[in-house]
Amino acid sequence: MNIFKLLLHDFKSYRMISILILFNIIISAFIICFSYGIYQNYNIIIDEGESASRHLVINPTKAKGKTESSITTKMVIDTVKSLSNETINNIERLYCNSILPTSAIEKNIFSFNFTYKDGSFHGLDGYSVFTDDQYNSYDKIIAINPSLRQDYASGDIVINDEVYKVKYIGDADSIEVNGEKFKIIDTPFNNGFLEAPITAFNDNTPIINTFEIRFKTDVSRSQYDDIVNAVTLNMGDNAEVPEMDISPASELFYYRTILMNSVLVSILAALNFAVLYRFILEKRIKTLTIFRICGCTKLRMIFTYLLECVIIGLPIFALTQLAFDKLALPMLSNIFEYIGYAYNPLLYLVIFGIYAVSSFVILFVMIALYISRRSINELKTGK
């Protein structure tokens, strides 16, 4: 028996039923995939919850006075670069500081207020005198208060209850910061003595006190987890992220519910397939009679018909999944914000497996019962 000849014969002879079977498979695949994504979107919005706080403080695990810390500028930069676009888009500003010795002032507090978007660092409006190009050049540049070039610059100043010595720099075109030479840029500023972008410092420059993140809206569970993962990846045990009061989703319950829904829809789809295919079997009673009279066993007939269904169903189901992912999902993402996060190759494979097993079992039972109830003598007499 040639399976493909039988399939072609069925399609020509029972075109309407064959088309209905194809539609049943395509619609079933779409509904299973779509319902999974809708549940994921609903689950994030309702169950994930959001933090009532828009401020997160990341603390160094080791710190000594105002000069040593287990967090460095490189760790901060790499952590920010590791964040997802969803998290980045919700960040209003990033803040940290460092206290370093310079050739102009005994110790200067460098405050870093910046943002990160589209793969680039940006100085925060109202806090930074540096352009975006300067921020992302990673050059060792520094802006100075014009008063440092005045004769009266030398003397003592008090910053945060600490006394520091200020030195007159004259017309120097550079300043040493923590033993490294920084070029003075033309743009002066008056809010403090010295300012430099965080990208200008070497990898081991310590971040004193904390690294702070301020958000535009309340922090979601996925955003918080994203930050924790980025800190763990880039800072390891050198920093700790405090817990935030966010309503957690029950992941185990979530996936069990999804699997139950997928199994239920797959069973219903398989039952529909079986009902339609049984109609074809009823119309092919003469073919079954000929095969049985010619010596074809019941088991072989069951296998032939089952293989026929597998050849029809599984490739169509897989192609529908592919079309859903490449064509339908991008459009659905514009309507349902979180639906795109639900899908990955493993998920599609699981859904395919659930449908394949459900269809195989139900069709096998239906075909086996249909074949077994008809003996050769009954087929010969046309019963």
pLDDT at site 181:
94
Structure tokens at 296: 């074809």
Whole-Å CA distances, 322 to 63, 138, 214, 265, 272: 52, 43, 40, 19, 22
Residues 7 and 83 placed together within one structural domain of the fold: no
**234 and 319 inside one domain:** no
* Mean pLDDT for the chain overall: 80
pLDDT in tens, 42-64: 555 444 444 556 889 999 998 87
What mean pLDDT do residues 201-223 have? 88
Give yes or no: residues 255 and 367 share one domain: yes
**CA–CA separation, 19 vs 26, rounded Å?**
11
Indicate whether 230 and 260 sit together in one domain. no
Q: Which of 182, 217, 240 is the endpoint of a domain? A: 240
Report the chain's C-alpha Rg in angstroms.
Answer: 34
Report pLDDT digits (tens) over 326-372: 888 888 877 776 677 667 788 788 888 888 888 888 888 888 887 77
Q: Are 234 and 262 in the same domain? A: no
Helices then strands, each counted (H, E), the chain:
12, 14
* Residue-wise pLDDT tens digits, 264-304: 777 888 888 888 778 777 776 666 677 767 777 778 878 88
CA angle centred on 300, ends 305 and 29, rounded to 5°: 25
Task: Tell me: do 75 and 223 sit in the same domain.
Answer: yes
pLDDT at 312 > cutoff 50: yes
Pairing, β 120-123 against β 141-144 = unpaired
End of a domain among 186, 219, 240? 240
Helix (H, G, I), strand (E, B) or coil at 220: strand
Give percent of the chain above pLDDT 90: 26
Q: Which of 214, 240, 266 is the last residue of a domain?
A: 240
pLDDT for position 303 = 83
- Using the predicted structure, report yes or no on whether residue 375 has a pLDDT greater than 60: no
61 and 208 together in one domain: yes
Kindly state whether residues 256 and 320 are assigned to the same domain: yes
Tens of pLDDT, residues 15-37: 777 788 888 888 888 888 877 77
pLDDT tens track for 76-94: 999 999 999 989 999 999 9
Number of domains in the chain: 2
Per-residue pLDDT tens over the stretch 172-195: 899 999 999 999 998 877 777 889
* Same domain (yes/no): 222, 82: yes
More confident of the two residues 310 and 322: 322
Task: Give the range of the structural domain holding residue 187, as residue numbers without chain letter.
Answer: 55-240
- Both 100 and 120 in one domain: the answer is yes
Specify the pLDDT at position 248. Answer: 46
If asked whether residues 355 and 323 sit together in one domain, one would say yes
Distance of alpha carbon 299 from alpha carbon 268, whole angstroms:
26
Helix (H) or strand (E) holding 35: helix 15-43
Whether 265 and 341 map to the same domain: the answer is yes
